[in-house]
Structure 1
Amino acid sequence: MFKRNTRPSAWRASGRAAGWSAVLLALATPTWAGEGPAILKAPSDLTAGIAAMPQIAAPADDAERRINAAVKRLDAKALEAARECKSEGGQYDYWERAVDAPMRGPRFLSFVITDSWLCGGPHPNSNTMSIVYDLTTGAPVDWTTLLPVSLTGKLALAEGPGRTRMVTLASKRLHALYLAGYRPKTAGSKTDDADKECREAVTETYDGQPPAMMAWLDAKAGGLAVQFDLVHAVQACADTVVIPVATLRREGAQPLLADALEAAHAQAVK
């Protein structure tokens, strides 16, 4: 677990999240590749503050071996980015990475990677990336085979600061579902200026185009998690919204995806 973050208060939450993710991943947690069980293991941190990607223990087939090879490459890229950050100088420069695996099967394995860094700039930065693997092929999922075109929209390849690459979805319908689930109001809740600013920030589009959104599968929440980047001034507004599996079914998601999510959710809430 990371030591208490002594950096500005805006980053203490990131440090706590990193430590919590490390604890979760240090536990051998069962996953399901197709019909057979597998186990995720988390190697020791790559270096202080930089979590290693979890790997499938005792991989049973080529697909699982491909996933392990892929996450090792991600580790190498993260270390390279951290070394470059440090070389830019500055006594207080740093790089931290936390990793979580919110879906561990059946069929799909999700990773969520959060990098936090200060590399000589005026302020710290943070970035979240997500990758979902198909446990039967060992390749990242093709969202166009799992979600209707109304939810995938325009696909693009994005690269994070740690050189992690992922596919983003730019869909007006997906953005609308995100906004529908964003910070739901309860009876008696009030909207202050900060909340209003956040709602405006996530609603804003550029030239009428929806934002490029990352997506991953979340077993405990039971749905498709969606998030997108915002400018630094309102970065704290970039909440993750989970679209429930029931909604995904109504929108036309493939039964394969919905069934896997439901099975994973049933295991996660036991």
Structure 2
Amino acid sequence: MKGRLRLAAFGVLLVATGVPANAADRIVQMQAAQVGPGIDAFPQIVEPVDDAERRINAALKRLDAQVRKAAKSCKAEGGANTSWERGVRTAMHGPRFLSFEINDGTYCGGAHPNTGTTAIVYDLVTGTPVDWTTLLPPALTGKVALATQADETKMVTLSSKRLHALYLKAYRPETGKTNANADDKACRDAVTETVSGEPPAMTVWPDAEAGGLAVQFDLAHVVQACADTVVIPTSTLRREGVQTVLTDAIEAAQAKRP
């Protein structure tokens, strides 16, 4: 009963904010493609129904063009042994938000390959990337910045002590298995360590399958395997003061999953 009431309330909220009932509140269908061998393209919205969705598709094509250009430069710089792999996962495709998790693995010459995870989140009402300062309280956004990615695009990061604390609370909890705890200790130390007391630059995105806000940040190459993604559940997000338009959307998306 509570679930139905919550979804009903979410529908009222969408109407109150002027969101078309057949657009931003729906689960959009996505069509995957490839930029090149081993490089996922951003899935496109199938049969976009409004300007916002068409704007998003156009922006995603520009991102695909950027990684295509970067992969070409990588090969020119490093020669025949270079590689560029990209996986793109649609972590949420409505209602209200469309989010992508992007995982790149690159080798353009040098001592070792590099890996990295980032994300981009669109508002299906406006067709533009979300402004996290309107969705998260100041304690969770902290310092908002743009970080340059492997393909030279700039993605939003949040440096927040409170967000980092929530990440650490859920990161690889200790178990009764002594060996596993010992192996994880080095990773716990790696994700806890800060530079001059400042929190790391974190990437966040709503994840419908996991039912919360995913948080991740990259680490030095020697401890890159410790860079787990942690999902903060909507119940915690509510207690932290996150806007209900985001928490309700995540829960509605999870409820609509097959």
TM-score, with normalisation over the residues of structure 1? 0.84
The aligned residue for residue 24 of structure 2 is 34
In the TM superposition, what are the counterparts of 1:69-148 in structure 2 within 5 Å? 69-148=58-137
CA RMSD of the aligned region, Å?
1.4
Greater CA deviation, 32-41 or 249-258?
32-41
Cα deviation, residue 115, structure 1 = 1.0
Call closer, same or farther: CA 1:106–1:93 in 2, change over 3 Å.
same
Unaligned 5+ segments in structure 2 are 1-21
Residues 11-66 of structure 1: CA deviation (Å, up to 9, x unaligned): xxxxxxxxxxxxxxxxxxxxx842345311113x1111111110101111110011
- For 1:201, the equivalent position in structure 2 comes to 190
* Alignment CA distance shift 1:243-1:189 (3 Å): farther
Alignment of structure 1 residues 223-242 onto 2, 5 Å: 223-242=212-231
Indicate if the aligned counterparts of 2:102 and 2:119 stay in contact, CA closer than 8 A. yes
2:37 corresponds in structure 1 to 48
1:117 to partner: Cα distance:
1.1
- Give 1:166 deviation, angstroms: 1.4
Where in structure 2 are the equivalents of 1:207-218 lying within 5 Å?
A: 207-218=196-207
Residues 145-201 of structure 1: per-residue CA shift (max 9 Å, x gap): 111111011100112101232111111000000000001223445455531111110
Structure-1 separation of matches of 2:228 and 2:25 = 34
Partner of 2:239: 250
The one of 121, 143, 147 aligned to 1:154? 143
Contact 2:148/2:155 (8 A) holds in 1: yes
Distance in 2 of aligned mates of 1:89 and 1:252: 47
**Unmatched runs of 5 consecutive residues or more in structure 1:** 1-31
Name the residue aligned to 1:263: 252
Q: Which has the bigger relative contact order, CA under 8 A and spacing at least 6?
A: 2
SS at match of 1:38: coil
TM-score of the superposition, structure 2-length normalised?
Answer: 0.88
Partners of 1:36 and 1:233 lie apart in 2 by 43
Give the Cα separation in 2 of the matches to 1:55 and 1:204. 39
Q: Which residue of 1 aligns with 2:4?
A: none
Change over 3 Å in CA distance of 1:192–1:186 after alignment to 2: closer
The 1-side partners of 2:26 and 2:93 are apart by 12
Matched residue, 1:4: none
Query: 2:93 is aligned with what amino acid?
Result: R
- Bigger shift: residues 190-199 or 97-106: 190-199
**Aligned residues with identical type, % of pairs:** 62
- On the 8 A contact 1:129/1:164 being kept in 2, the answer is no
Q: Does the residue aligned with 2:204 lie in a helix, a strand or coil? A: strand
* Matched residue SS, 1:46: strand
